[in-house]
Structure 1
Amino acid sequence: MKNIYEYLKNLKEEKKLKECELLIVNDDKQAQIASDIVSFLGFKPFTLADFRANFGDDLLSFSTELQDITKALNEYYSYKKQDKILIAPIRTASFPMPKDKCFDSFEISFADTLNLEELKTKLYNWGYYFVDIVTSEAEVSIRGDILDICPLGSETGYRISLFDDEVESIREFDIEDQKSSKEEIESFKITPAFLALEESALEEINEQIQSVESDAFIKDIHSLGFWYLGELGEYLPQKLNSYVTLEALDELEEVYVFEDKRVAKEKFLTLPQVRRAKNYQEVAPANIKEFLTFHEDKKVTIISSSEAKVKSFDLELSNSNINYIFENYIINLVGNDEVIISLNKEIKKRRKKRVRLVLDELQEGDFVVHETHGIGQYRGIEPVVVMGAKRDFVIVMYAGDDKLLIPVENIDLIDRYVADGNSYAVVDKLGKGSFAKLKEKVKDKLFAIANDIIKLAAARELVNGIKINTEKQVLANFQNSAGFEYTKDQTRSVREIFEDLSSGRVMDRLLSGDVGFGKTEVAMNAILATVLEGHQAIFVCPTTLLASQHFHGMRKRFEEFGIRMAKLDGKSTAKEKNEVKKSLEEGSLDLVVGTHSLLGVKTKDLALVVIDEEHKFGVKQKEKLKELREDVHIFSMSATPIPRTLNLALSKLKGMSSLLTPPRERLGVRTYVKEYSDKLIKEIILREKRRGGQLFYVHNNIASIEAKKADIEEIVPNIKIEIIHSKVKPKDAEEIIEKFDNKEFDILLATSIVESGLHLPNANSIIIDGADRFGIADLHQLRGRVGRSDKEGFCYYVVEDKKKITNDAIKRLVALESNSYLGSGTALAHQDLEIRGGGNIIGEAQSGHIKQIGYGLYLKMLEDALASLSGETKEEAKTVDIKLAISAFISSDYIVEDRVRLELYRRLSKCHSKQEVYEIEEEMEDRFGKPDIPTKQFLELIIIKILALSQGIKTISSYEMNITFVKSDETKETIKSPSKDDDDIIETTLKFLNKKG
C-alpha cells in the first residue's frame, strides 16, 4: 500500500500521473488497495480480475473472472476522459487482452422495433448463454413474445414484452424469484458478455478452436475463445504506459503460468518499477483518537463510509483540523507530513445470489416415491385422452411393467427418491399393499424415536441448568483475536449459545454447517465461557483423527487463556488414559478432547459437553454422554444442513443454529469436466504434487478399485497410494486417513465414502471417475472435499467416453463446471443434502428404513410423529379424484421446456388456497404471456380441486352434461351444465362449489 501511494502521489505532484495508464500489481488483493488509492488521488480506476489460468485451459471454470475482465475493459474503453488508470494483476497482464474495437453496447427502448432473429444472432455472437430461465448475468431466454435478459454487470434481469415485433413494455425482474416489478422503464443497455464480435470474426475463432487439440469437454467460444483472439488481441503492457510493483515481479517466480520465461521477463522487467516507499508507513491504530494526538502537526484525513461511523469512533465531525472523506476506501498510512486513516472494514466480495426457484430436475428413469404405492420409476409426462378430453398424466412404472398414471394436479403425491449415495432403489409391486405395511412398520419405529426425543427434552426442561456468565470482556477479546472476521451466521450462533448458557435452563442445541464454515470456532466460545466460570468441558469426536485435529487447533487458540487441556482417544496408552481420567475427576483439567473413550468418565464439575459430527454416534452413546450429569449443557455439531420443516419440528424441542455462509478467505473450487486419458490423469497428479499438495481419487466400485490403483501407479510411477472403502475396517481406515493427514502418501483412492466428515486441508485436488454416474448432490458434496484451506481447490469430473453419455448428463456436468446448472443445480444439490442432513440427525441406525421409503417420506413421517406427540393436530391428507371431461393441461405451445412445466405442475399441486393459484397465474402471465385455453382450464381445475377438498368431496365426474359430486360419506349430488363444452362444465362446477363454500 505505502509504495503504491507514495509513487502515485509523486507522479501526481510532478503532473505525470496521466502517464500511468496501466498499473501492474501482484494479485486482486493488491488491485483493490491500488483502486482505493487511485480513487483517493482523484483519478478513475478500472480493475481487471486476477486471471490465474494456464494457456489452453478450459475457460468455463474461469467464467466469472472472464466476465469481470470483459466488464472492466468495456467500461475502460467507453470512458472518454483522460483521468483513468487500468489496474491489472500480473497474471492477467501476461495474456493478450481484447482490443478496444471488441467492445460495444446498444440500447433497447420502449416502442423500438426488434428483429428477433437478428437480435438472437447478435446476442449469441456477443457471448450470451441461451437458457430456459435467466438466473444470472450474461443469460438470455426467449419465450414467444417475452424476452428475458440479464446484461453483464447487472444485478437484475430485464423482461421485454413484445407486441408482434414492437417493444410493448420493459420491466426489471428479480432473478431470484423471477417476479417482475410493476413499474415499466424507458430503456436499458446491453454490453457484450464475451466480446462484440462480427459473424466473420466469430467464425474465424471457431475454426481455430475446432482445429486445436484440447481436452475441453465442449470446444466452443465460451470454453476456448479467449485463447484464439489472434489479431483481435494485444498485450496491454506493450500498448499502455505501464508501471509494475515489486511484489508483482516476485510473482514471476511462478513461471509455469506464462507461455515462456523469456517473454515474461521481457514483458515486465523492462517496465518502470514502483519502488519501495521511503516516506510512508502502514498503520493499524487500536485507539484512533489517541493515535491522532501524536500527529497533530500533520495533515489528517479520515475516510469513512458514513457520518454515523465517525461518531461511533468518538471523533468530532466539526474538527476543522481533520479532512473527512465519505467513501468506502481503505487506506491507513502515516507519512512525514500527513496521516490517512480509514474507519472502514474490508467489504466482502459480493456472493452470487442463490436462486430460490428450484426447477424440477426429474429425469426419465429417476426413482420416485409415491405416498401410497411406494418406489417406482418416473417415465415422464404424457398427454392422455380420457372421455374425449385431453389431460396430462405423470407415468410411473412399477415391478412387472405395471404402469401408474397420476393426474398432474396430484403430482404432489410423488417425490424424488433420495437415499445415501450407495443405495440403489428397489421398485415396489403395485396393488400388493406391501408398501402400506412397510410404512406402518416405519411409523411405529418413528413414533418410538420421536417419543424418546420428546421425553428427553421434557426431562431436561425440569432441571435447572448451570448458569454461565457470558458478558465478560475476555470473550469479546477472544473473538477479535481469531485472525479473521466472524461471518454473520457465526456471530448469530454464538449469541444464541450465550443466551442458552446464561438462561439458567439446560442447553440442548444443534449447530449445522459444512466443514470449514467455522463450527469449532463457535464451540470454542462456549468452552471458554464455561471454563472461565470454573467449570469443566469435554469435546467428543467420532474418530481419533478428528480428535487430534481439534485438540491441536484448540490448544493453539486457548494458549493465552491458561486452559488446562488433554486428549483422550484410542491412541492414548493405558497409563495416559488413567492419568487423564484421574485429573478430570480431581478437577485439575478444564477441557478434554477425545473420542468415545470419554463415555462414562467421572468429572469434578462438568458443565458442557460438545459433540462433533453427532450423527456418527448411536442413540445409546449420546444418552451415556447426557447421563454424565443431568444438568450438563449439550452442544452438538453436524456437517450437513437440516431441512427447514424438520428444523421447525425439532426447534420446539432443542435449539437449532446453522452456518450457511463460508468464511471470506475460502476460495471457490475450480471445476473441470474432462474425458478420461492417461495423459490427463498424469498432468493433474503432477500439477498438484508440484505445489506440495495431495489428491483424492474417487472410484466408486470396490470390485475394480485395486485394478485402478495399478493403473495410476503405471501412469505415475513412484506415487504413493492408499485405498479406502466401506469394506476396510474402521480402525484401519482411521489409520490410513491419519497417515494421509500426516502427508505420508500422495493419493487417497476411495469410493464416495470420502463424501463427508473429513477435513484434510492439504488435499486440494479431487478426481471423480465416472462422474456421469453420480447424482448432482453427490458431485456437489464431493467437490466440497477440496479448497478447504487458503489454497485453491481443483475438482475434475472425469467421464469414460463423452459420446456414450446422454445430453442431459453432459448439460449437468458442464454447468457444474461453470458452477450453476442452468440456475438450479446447486440449489437442488443443497436440497438433497438438506434431506440427508435430516436423516443424519436420526442416526445411521435408521438407514435401512430410509432406504426402503426414501429420505423425503421418512422425514415427513418423522415431522408428523413429532407434531402429533407434541399435541399438534395435523389433518390427514385428503385427495380428490377429478374425472371431468375437459381438456386441461399446461400446454407445450405455451411453455416449451418440460422441466419448467413440471416445476409449475408441482407448485400448483401444492396450493392450498385460491389466492396461491392466482399468484402463480399472475407470475405465469408475467413470465410467459397470457395463458392459452388448455392452460387457463388447468388453473381452473386446480381451483376446483382446492374447493372440493375444503368441502369433503372425494370425486367429481362428468358425463355428457351431468356433473356428479361424491362426498367422503358417500352422499351424491348431480347437477346439469348448459352444454357439454369445456367452459360450461368448468363454470357450472365452480358456481356449485363456490355456492356450497
Structure 2
Amino acid sequence: MKKHGVLARLGQGYPFAKLESSLQNPRISIVSPQSTNSFLLTVFSELKGENPPIQLVVASTGREAEDIEQELAFLDPTAEILLFPSWETLPHERLSPSAETVGRRYQTIARLQELANEPPAHQVYVLLSIRAALQPIISGLEKFPPLSLVQGQEYLLPELALKLVEQAYQRVDMVSRRGEFAVRGGILDIFPTTAEHAVRLEFFGDELEEIREFAVSDQRSSATKLDSLTLYPARELIITPSVAAKAREMMHEFPNLSAMLEKISLGIPVDGMESLAPALADKMISIFEYLPKHLTVVLLSPEKAAARAASLVETNEEFLHAAWDAAMDGASAPIDLSGGGFIDFATFNSKLSKLQLVTLSPFGLDSEEVVNLGILEIPNFKGVDASAIEWVADQLDQKHLVVVSAQGHGTAERLREVFIQGQLQADLVDEIPENPKPKTIYLIQAPFKRGFVSENSKLTVLTNTEYYSQSSYSSPQVRKLSVKRGAAVDPLTLKAGDFVVHEIHGIGRFKELVQRTSGIGARQHQREYLLIEYASPKRGYPEDTLFVPTDQLDMLTRYIGGEAPVISKLGGSDWARAKGNARKAVRKIAIDLVKLYSARMNSKGYAFASDTPWQHELEEAFPFQETPDQLTTIDEVKRDMEKPIPMDRLLAGDVGYGKTEVAVRAAFKAIQDGKQVAMLVPTTLLVRQHTDTFLERFAGFPVNVKSLSRFQTAKEVKETIAGLATGAVDLVIGTHRLLSDTVKFRNLGLIIIDEEQRFGVEHKEKLKAIKTNVDILAMSATPIPRTLEMAITGIREMSTLATPPEDRHPILTFIGGYSQKQVAAAIRRELIREGQIFFVHNRVATIEKAANDLAKLVPEARIAVAHGQMPEAALEQVVVDFWEKKFDVLVSTTIIETGIDIPNANTLIIDRAEHFGLSQLHQIRGRVGRSRERAYAYFFYDPSKPLSETSHDRLATIAQNNEL
C-alpha cells in the first residue's frame, strides 16, 4: 500500500494542518487512540519533509513494540526499522537473557553507532519498550564488533573457533540452539544469535568453500546457500581480562559467590553472571548514550509507561534483596549492584530534556502543545451481521473512505463477498487508489490490530478484531527447512546414565563413548564404541559391560518407559523371558484386534472429496509456521479421510505441539462436504478453549460452531441439540454430555476425541455405538498402553508430533531454597507484564494457609485455590475463572499436571519441589511457555533440610533440560 492511500486521507483536515506546525515545538502531546499509533508515526515522517529525523519510539510493552514493527513494515516499506528488545530477565535476577535477545541488542547498537556517524537518507524507526529504555547497559558493547565471514575467503579454523569462544558462543558436540557452535573436521556448525536457522560452514583447507543453512532437529543441510555470515556476540557481559581479574579479586571478598566468580575468573561463562555486571564491568550507561543527536522521541501511552516504570523499579529491588542478600553472608563489604537496576521514570524524563518529545495518548496531557486529532475507536461487532453492514453503509453515506484490513487473503475475499451480499460495493486491492471511488469499500491484506474512525479526515479503518472480537498474533514467517527423522540412537545425545535397550541383550545403562584399537600390525585401526553397563552376574561382582560399535547403532533404542527399569543381565534369561511374556500378551489380544481391524476395513465409510479452495484459504490463514511433523500428520489425516474406509487415527504429541490445528483442518474438510463434526473433550475448560479456537479459525466462513457443557443454559442446550438433529449445527464441542441419548446427529461424519486417555470404559462403549462408519481422530499427549499397542501393531493408524514449534523459547528454570522475597519478586515480575502465575503446593491440608501467606506477601495479587478434593463443579469454575483472567495466581495441587492450557500463565512456582518425581516436574513445567512470552519456572526446596542425593539429581536434571 502506498503512502498516498490511507495515510494521504488521514493527513487531511484541520487537526493535521495544525499538527504540521506543532511538530516544530520541543514538546507536543497528541490525543488519539492506541490503534492509530503506527499510522501517526508514518504521518510524522511525511510532515517532517525530505529529511525526517530518526524516531525513537518507546512503547509500554515489548509486545506493543513488536506489533508496531509489523505495522510499520507494511505502512512504510522503504523505512529502516530497528527493534531493541529488553532482557527476558530482570537485571538483578540470577538468570541470563537468551542469546537471541542479546544478539538483536548488539545488532541495533551497531547500527545506531553507524547512524550517529552518518545520518540516514531514509526514515529510521528505533522501537523499544519502556523496560528496555530504563535498563542500564554495559559500557563498551560497541568494542565487540560482529564477526563477518565471506564465502571464498580464507580463515584458520582453530583461530575462528577461539574468536567464537571470545564472542561468548558455547562449543558443543551438536548444535541445537542459538549461541552454540560445533567443529567436526573441516566443518563448522553454528547457530548465529540473529539468524532464523543454524548454518553449516564447509572448509576446503583454509578456504570457506560453502555456507549453507541446516535444520537443528535432524542436522540435515538445506538447499539454501549464503554468500556471507554476520555473527553478533551471545552475551552482553564478555569475559575480558579486566572482567576476569575483577572476578578473581572478588572471590576473597565474597566467599558465598566464590564458585561462580572462580569460573568467571577462568573465562567460563556462568548462567546469571550478567547480574554481576555492575561490579565486574567498567561502568553502566544508558541506551540514550548510543543514540544519534538528531532524533525525535515518541512516547506511547505515557501514563501506562510511568506506572510500568514504577512497578519495574520496585520489583527489581525485591529481586536484588532476594537473590543477593544471602550471597553477602560472610562478605567483607556489601556488593554494590545498584548501577544495574532500572532508572526511575523521572530520570528517564530528564534524559529526554534535550530531545524533541512527542507523546501519543488517548488522554490530553500537560504539555506546551496539545493537539486532539478527534479520532475514535470502533466498537466490536458480533460478526459481520446486519448491524455491522448497516454501520459500514452509514460511513459510506457520510462520504468516508472505508478500508477493511484482513490478515489473510482468504479472509479478505470472504469479507468482500459478505459486503456484496449486503448490497455494498467492495473491491479487494493491493493498494488504495489515489482517487478512490465513492461509496466503495476497499479491502486490503494488512497486519493492523485495531481500527479507528477519523471524522475530520473522513476515514474509517476496520480490522478482523472489530468483526470477530479476536485477533490472532501472526509470528514472523520463517522459511521452512526440510526435515527427515531417523529412528537410530544418536550417541551424541546420550548422557551417562541414560537407559538403552539392546535388541539381543536387553536393558542397559549407557556409560560413555570410547575408542578401542582393533587388529594387528598394518591392519590395526581404531573404532568408536558405546560402552553399556549391565547388571552384575552375581552378588558382590562388578557390573558387566558391553561394547557396541557405532556401526551397529540399529541394535540400540532409547528406553522410553515411565519408571526406572530393571537392568538386564548379559547372557541371562530375564530379557528372553520378558520378550516371551510380551509375545503371549500380543497373542492374547490378537484375535480381538484382528476382528476389530477386519470390521473396520470391511465397513463402508464416507470418502471425503479433495481439498476445496476454501480449505486452502483456511490453511493459509494459519498465523504460525507449521512444524514438519504437523505438515506430515495433516497429509496423513487427509489421505485417510479421502478413503472409503472409516478413519481411526491416533494423534500423539506433547501439549503445544499443534494437535488442535490438525483437528481444525480435519473438521473443516468434513464440514466442506456437508458432514457434521463432534469434538469430545474431558473438561468444560477445554470446551471453552476449543470453542474459542474454532470460532477464531472459522471466522468469515459459513460454519456454525456450538458447545455443550455445564456452562450452557437449558435454552442454549435445547437449541444446540435441535440444530444437531436438523443439520443446522456444523460442529459441536462438548464433554461427555455429547454421549447422552438425547443428542442425535443428522449427518455425522467425523468424531474428534481430545485427551482420549481421560475417558473411561463407559464413555468409550457409548462412542462405539455412534461411531459406526464415522471417521475418528483421537488426540492424546499421553496415550494409554492399550491404545499404543493398537497403534504399534497397525490396528490403529498413528501420527506423532515430536517437533516443537521452532520459535518456542526454552523455559528459564531456577532451582533454590524457598525464599519469600524470591517468591514475591517472581509474582510481581509476572504481574508487571499482565501475566498469571501457577503456584503448586501439593498438600491439601495446608493449601489454604499457603494461599493466605501469598496474599499477605503480595496483597495486590488476586489469588484462587484449586485441588482435587473440591466438588467437581467448583473446581471447574475456579479453573475457568483463572483462564478468563479473574485471578492472577492459581494455588493448586498437581491437578494442573494435565488438561489445563492457560497461555497467559507464564510463571510457575513449585513449593517443596524435592518431593516431586522427575516426570511430574516435567509435566507441570509444561503448563507454562505456551505463548510468545518468555516463561519462568521456580523449583523451591526446603532450605532447612539437606537434599537427598536422589532429589539433588532430579532437580539438576530438570534444570539442565529446559527445552520442550
Please indicate, yes or no, whether the TM-score normalized by the shorter chain is above 0.5.
yes
1:65 corresponds to which letter in structure 2? T
Aligned partner of 1:124 in structure 2 is 165
Aligned partner of 2:321 in structure 1 is none
Map of 1:419-568 to 2, 5 A cutoff? Answer: 419-420=561-562, 423-449=563-589, 451-465=591-605, 485=623, 488=626, 505-515=645-655, 519=659, 523=663, 539-542=679-682, 546=686, 566-567=708-709
Larger radius of gyration: 1
Matched, 1:622 2:764: yes
Give the Cα–Cα distance (whole angstroms) in 2 for the partners of residues 604 and 183 of structure 1: 53
1:637 counterpart SS class: strand
Aligned partner of 1:348 in structure 2 is 475
Give the Cα–Cα distance (whole angstroms) in 2 for the partners of residues 779 and 650 of structure 1: 28
1:55 counterpart SS class: coil
Mean Cα deviation higher: 596-605 or 608-617: 596-605
C-alpha deviation, 1:85, in angstroms = 4.1
From the superposition, tell whether residues 630 and 333 of structure 1 become closer, same or farther in structure 2 (CA, over 3 Å). Answer: closer
From the superposition, tell whether residues 539 and 403 of structure 1 become closer, same or farther in structure 2 (CA, over 3 Å). Answer: same
Q: Is the 8 A contact 1:541 1:596 kept in 2?
A: yes
1:257 corresponds to which letter in structure 2? L
Matched, 1:403 2:441: no
Give the Cα–Cα distance (whole angstroms) in 2 for the partners of residues 182 and 484 of structure 1: 25
Aligned partner of 1:157 in structure 2 is 199
Q: Is the 8 A contact 2:211 2:226 kept in 1?
A: yes
Give the Cα–Cα distance (whole angstroms) in 2 for the partners of residues 746 and 149 of structure 1: 40
State which of 765, 769, 787 in structure 1 corresponds to 2:907: 765
Q: Is the 8 A contact 1:138 1:152 kept in 2?
A: yes
Give the Cα–Cα distance (whole angstroms) in 2 for the partners of residues 402 and 663 of structure 1: 41
Matched, 1:610 2:752: yes
Give the Cα–Cα distance (whole angstroms) in 1 for the partners of residues 150 and 588 of structure 2: 64
Aligned partner of 2:273 in structure 1 is 224
Q: Is the 8 A contact 1:299 1:322 kept in 2?
A: no
From the superposition, tell whether residues 405 and 377 of structure 1 become closer, same or farther in structure 2 (CA, over 3 Å). Answer: same
Q: Is the 8 A contact 1:215 1:675 kept in 2?
A: no
1:82 corresponds to which letter in structure 2? P
From the superposition, tell whether residues 526 and 397 of structure 1 become closer, same or farther in structure 2 (CA, over 3 Å). Answer: closer
Give the Cα–Cα distance (whole angstroms) in 2 for the partners of residues 346 and 280 of structure 1: 25
* 1:83-111 per-position Cα deviation (integer Å, ceiling 9, x unaligned): 44422222211123455743424545689
2:120 corresponds to which letter in structure 1? Q
C-alpha deviation, 1:244, in angstroms = 2.2
From the superposition, tell whether residues 718 and 318 of structure 1 become closer, same or farther in structure 2 (CA, over 3 Å). Answer: closer
Matched, 1:22 2:56: yes
Structure 1, unmatched stretches of 5+, are: 820-825, 827-997
2:311 corresponds to which letter in structure 1? Y
Q: Is the 8 A contact 2:96 2:272 kept in 1?
A: yes
* 1:428-483 per-position Cα deviation (integer Å, ceiling 9, x unaligned): 34444233222122123234545544432432343334688999999999x69x99
The two structures have a TM-score, normalised by structure 1, of 0.61
2:301 counterpart SS class: helix
Q: Is the 8 A contact 2:179 2:190 kept in 1?
A: yes
From the superposition, tell whether residues 214 and 770 of structure 1 become closer, same or farther in structure 2 (CA, over 3 Å). Answer: farther
Map of 1:797-816 to 2, 5 A cutoff? Answer: 797=939, 816=961
Q: Is the 8 A contact 1:216 1:223 kept in 2?
A: no
Give the Cα–Cα distance (whole angstroms) in 2 for the partners of residues 61 and 815 of structure 1: 16
State which of 236, 243, 248 in structure 1 corresponds to 2:288: 236
Mean Cα deviation higher: 443-452 or 61-70: 443-452
* 1:158-182 per-position Cα deviation (integer Å, ceiling 9, x unaligned): 536485xx55756546353556799
Give the Cα–Cα distance (whole angstroms) in 2 for the partners of residues 305 and 541 of structure 1: 30
Aligned partner of 1:64 in structure 2 is 100
2:779 counterpart SS class: strand
State which of 370, 373, 388 in structure 1 corresponds to 2:502: 370
Map of 1:195-214 to 2, 5 A cutoff? Answer: 199-203=240-244, 206=247
State which of 276, 292, 311 in structure 2 corresponds to 1:256: 311
1:193 corresponds to which letter in structure 2? A
Aligned partner of 2:15 in structure 1 is none
2:286 corresponds to which letter in structure 1? E
C-alpha deviation, 1:272, in angstroms = 0.9
* 1:312-360 per-position Cα deviation (integer Å, ceiling 9, x unaligned): 9765999896999x99997999987899999999863356989979554
Q: Is the 8 A contact 2:914 2:947 kept in 1?
A: no
C-alpha deviation, 1:418, in angstroms = 1.9
Aligned partner of 1:82 in structure 2 is 120
Matched, 1:695 2:747: no
1:437 counterpart SS class: helix
From the superposition, tell whether residues 22 and 580 of structure 1 become closer, same or farther in structure 2 (CA, over 3 Å). Answer: closer
Mean Cα deviation higher: 785-794 or 291-300: 291-300
1:250 counterpart SS class: helix
Aligned partner of 1:266 in structure 2 is 349
Aligned partner of 1:45 in structure 2 is 81
2:772 corresponds to which letter in structure 1? E
State which of 533, 546, 555 in structure 2 corresponds to 1:413: 555
C-alpha deviation, 1:785, in angstroms = 0.8
C-alpha deviation, 1:143, in angstroms = 5.4
C-alpha deviation, 1:32, in angstroms = 4.8
C-alpha deviation, 1:73, in angstroms = 1.9
From the superposition, tell whether residues 604 and 759 of structure 1 become closer, same or farther in structure 2 (CA, over 3 Å). Answer: same
Aligned partner of 1:96 in structure 2 is 136
Q: Is the 8 A contact 1:371 1:414 kept in 2?
A: yes
2:838 corresponds to which letter in structure 1? L
* 1:576-604 per-position Cα deviation (integer Å, ceiling 9, x unaligned): 9x999998999899687665576673654
From the superposition, tell whether residues 58 and 624 of structure 1 become closer, same or farther in structure 2 (CA, over 3 Å). Answer: same
From the superposition, tell whether residues 264 and 797 of structure 1 become closer, same or farther in structure 2 (CA, over 3 Å). Answer: farther
Q: Is the 8 A contact 1:46 1:76 kept in 2?
A: no
* 1:18-65 per-position Cα deviation (integer Å, ceiling 9, x unaligned): 433523233445435655648828543322124454221234354322
Q: Is the 8 A contact 1:4 1:274 kept in 2?
A: no
State which of 817, 821, 840 in structure 2 corresponds to 1:676: 817
From the superposition, tell whether residues 290 and 470 of structure 1 become closer, same or farther in structure 2 (CA, over 3 Å). Answer: farther
CA RMSD of aligned residues (A): 6.5
Map of 1:722-871 to 2, 5 A cutoff? Answer: 739-742=878-881, 748=891, 750=893, 754-760=896-902, 763-768=905-910, 781-788=923-930, 793-797=935-939, 816=961, 819=963
Matched, 1:245 2:299: yes
Q: Is the 8 A contact 1:47 1:72 kept in 2?
A: yes
Map of 1:271-420 to 2, 5 A cutoff? Answer: 272-275=357-360, 278=373, 348-349=475-476, 360-381=492-513, 392=529, 394-399=531-536, 400=538, 401-408=542-549, 409-420=551-562
Give the Cα–Cα distance (whole angstroms) in 2 for the partners of residues 749 and 57 of structure 1: 26
Give the Cα–Cα distance (whole angstroms) in 1 for the partners of residues 459 and 404 of structure 2: 6
* 1:620-660 per-position Cα deviation (integer Å, ceiling 9, x unaligned): 753441123633443322235999x9999779765666667
From the superposition, tell whether residues 549 and 440 of structure 1 become closer, same or farther in structure 2 (CA, over 3 Å). Answer: same
1:256 corresponds to which letter in structure 2? S
C-alpha deviation, 1:529, in angstroms = 8.5
Aligned partner of 1:946 in structure 2 is none
1:634 corresponds to which letter in structure 2? I
2:561 counterpart SS class: coil
2:81 counterpart SS class: strand
1:56 counterpart SS class: coil
Mean Cα deviation higher: 291-300 or 543-552: 291-300
Matched, 1:9 2:152: no
2:272 counterpart SS class: helix
1:567 corresponds to which letter in structure 2? S
Q: Is the 8 A contact 1:45 1:86 kept in 2?
A: yes
1:272 counterpart SS class: strand
2:493 counterpart SS class: coil
